[in-house]
Every structure is written in structure tokens, then in C-alpha cells.
Structure 1
Amino acid sequence: LYGGTPSNSAARLARLGTLVRCVSALNLPMLLRVMNYAELDLDALPAVAAAGARNGAIIDDA
């Protein structure tokens, strides 16, 4: 959640000079996608996470 403890911790790290990018509403497909593309640079990873969200949400009418 944006504004929750992980978000606040990332903001604190950013204020200390650490390069961070925050993505809120993270789900498992997003996390797995980022972990599979961990070699990409930090600026590319938020888009990779968003792609995981788009491709990970499936409606199964079975």
C-alpha cells in the first residue's frame, strides 16, 4: 500500500541517496516478473512489474 511501512521505508532510503523506484499494489505476478528480469536497470523495472500485472490477471469462465 502506498503510504504503508514498505513505502515509507523506500522513501526514507531515497532521502538518504539510495536509488529506489516504488510500485504500489504489488501482486505475485508482478513480483515474479521483476525477479525474472532482475538484470535490467532500475528505471526499466516498474514497466516490467506493470506488464506482470496486466498479463497476470486472467478471467477463467470454467
Structure 2
Amino acid sequence: MNIDKSQIIELLKSQGNSDKADQAESELPDTVDTEQHAGLLAKLGIDPQDLLGKLPGGLGGFGG
């Protein structure tokens, strides 16, 4: 699934992870593919399935 980088950055900031948000800003492409970029997301401490459940817009619903 593709997610806009800005959504990931906002999620990290909302969790108080400004350092990781800065890292995401510099390392992630503008559109993040949760499968293709799973390694980068993991480095930032983000589980792609967990990420999908936390994003606004009703994307949560995977895995219950």
C-alpha cells in the first residue's frame, strides 16, 4: 500500500518522535510503499500494519 510520506512524519511527531520524523523526512520517498520500504519503516520503528491502523481516513481495519 502506498502512503504519503507526510502522513508518516505527522504520525511520528504525534507520538513525540521528532528525531525519527526528521529521519523519515530525509530518508523516505514522497510516496512510501509499505512493502517495498518495509526496511526503512522498521528502522524508524514503524510496523507497516500498525501504521495502517493509526492513519486517519479509515485505513485501519487490517488485522482487527
Structure with greater Cα Rg: 1
- TM (normalized to structure 2)? 0.29
Taking structure 1 as the reference length, what is the TM-score of the superposition? 0.30
